Amino acid sequence: MLFHVRMNVNLPHDLPASDVAEILQKEKAYSQELQRNGTWRHIWRIAGQYANISIFDVADNEELHRLLSGLPLFKFMDIEVMPLLRHPSAVRDDDR
């Protein structure tokens, strides 16, 4: 199943810089592994915001929830999820 996921990150201003650096390092490694295995299909930064739009390809809602809640930044995020279905007028059979 494909899901459109918007993630807005809200790091506390009083979070120590060393903690931020450690969280971001873990976040990058986790997200890049999901991208390499094809689960996290696409990620785009939203210009001017600490936010992204991503496309996930997972078996079901439960898997998506597990992956998102495993993000090191999860507790600092507001997340919106929209399930996607192939549009009947689409000219491609995939999401290229």
What pLDDT was estimated at residue 76?
Answer: 98
Could you identify the residue written with the tokens 């490694």?
Answer: 29
The answer to whether residue 93 is domain-embedded is: no
The answer to whether residue 50 is domain-embedded is: yes
The answer to whether residue 56 is domain-embedded is: yes
Residues in the chain, pLDDT under 70 = 95-96
CA angle 32, 92, 60 (to 5 degrees): 50
The answer to whether residue 72 is domain-embedded is: yes
Q: Cβ of 93: how many Cβ atoms within 10 Å?
A: 7
DSSP code of residue 14: T
Count how many domains the chain has: 1
The answer to whether residue 80 is domain-embedded is: yes
Q: Which structural domain range is residue 54 located in? A: 2-84
CA-to-CA dists, residue 38 to 20, 25, 41, 70, 89, angstroms: 27, 20, 6, 17, 25
The backbone torsions φ and ψ at residue 73, rounded to the nearest 5 degrees and listed phi first, read -85, 0
The answer to whether residue 92 is domain-embedded is: no
What pLDDT was estimated at residue 26?
Answer: 98
The answer to whether residue 91 is domain-embedded is: no
CATH code for position 33: 3.30.70.1060
The answer to whether residue 90 is domain-embedded is: no
Q: Cβ of 48: how many Cβ atoms within 10 Å?
A: 6
What pLDDT was estimated at residue 96?
Answer: 59
